[in-house]
Amino acid sequence: MFKKVKPFFLTVETPLHAGSGTDLGVVDLPIQRERHTGFPKLEGSGLKGGIREAFENDHAEIEVGSQKVIKSDKDIISLVFGPENGDDHGSAIGFTDARLLLFPVKSMKGVFAWVTCPKVLEHFITDLNLAEIKGIPELPGENTVSSGCKLLFEGNKVILEEYTFEVKKDEKEDETCSKLALWLSNNVIPEGKIFNYWKQKLQKDLVILSDDDFKDFVNLSTEVITRVKINNETGTVQTGALFTEEYLPSETILYSLILTSPVFVGKNKDKKIFVKKNGKNEEDLVMEYFVKGLPHVIQLGGNSTIGKGIVRTRIMDL
Q: CB within 8 A of 210, min separation 6: which ones? A: 117, 118, 142, 143
pLDDT at position 241, please? Answer: 73
pLDDT at position 109, please? Answer: 96
pLDDT at position 101, please? Answer: 98
pLDDT at position 295, please? Answer: 96
Amino acid at 131: A
Domain total for the chain?
1
Per-residue pLDDT of the chain (318 residues; tens, 9 = 90+): 789 999 999 999 999 999 887 776 788 899 999 999 999 999 999 999 999 999 999 999 999 988 999 999 999 999 999 988 777 788 999 999 999 999 999 999 999 999 999 999 999 999 999 999 989 999 999 999 999 899 999 889 999 999 999 999 988 877 899 999 999 999 999 989 999 999 999 999 999 999 999 999 999 999 999 988 887 878 777 776 788 999 999 999 999 999 999 998 865 578 888 988 888 999 999 999 999 999 999 999 999 999 999 999 999 987
Please state, in angstroms and rounded to a whole number, the distance separating the CA atoms of residues 288 and 282. Answer: 10
pLDDT at position 42, please? Answer: 97
Taking a C-beta distance cutoff of 8 angstroms, is the pair 155, 194 a contact? Answer: no
Residue 209 CB-density burial (10 A; 0-12 exposed, 13-18 middle, 19+ buried): buried
- With b meaning 16 or more CB within 10 Å and e meaning fewer, what string describes 235-267? eeeeeeeeeebbbbbbbbbbbbbbbbbbbebee
**What's the number of CA atoms in the CB half-sphere (13 Å) around residue 166?**
0
| Domain housing 70 | 4-315
Work out the end-to-end distance of the chain between its first and last CA atoms, rounded to an integer number of angstroms: 21
Q: Could you please report the per-residue DSSP string of 244-292?
A: EEEEBPTT-EEEEEEEE-PPP--TT---TT---BTTB-HHHHHHHHHHH
**Percent of the chain that is helix, strand, coil (3-state, to 5):** 25, 30, 45
Q: What is the pTM of this model?
A: 0.93
Handedness of CA 104, 113, 14, 124 (dihedral sign): negative
List, in sequence order, every residue forming a beta bridge with 19; answer none if it has no partner: 31
pLDDT at position 268, please? Answer: 56
Amino acid at 175: E
pLDDT at position 9, please? Answer: 98
pLDDT at position 271, please? Answer: 86
Amino acid at 136: I
Classify strands 297-299 and 253-260 as parallel, antiparallel or unpaired. unpaired
Q: CB within 8 A of 281, min separation 6: which ones? A: 3, 262
Q: CB within 8 A of 7, min separation 6: which ones? A: 127, 128, 131, 133, 255, 256, 257, 258, 315, 316
pLDDT at position 228, please? Answer: 85
What φ, ψ does residue 215 adopt, rounded to 5°?
-60, -40
Taking a C-beta distance cutoff of 8 angstroms, is the pair 190, 149 a contact? Answer: no
C-alpha closest to that of 177 among 213, 141, 217: 141
- Give CA 263 to chain center in angstroms: 26
pLDDT at position 299, please? Answer: 97
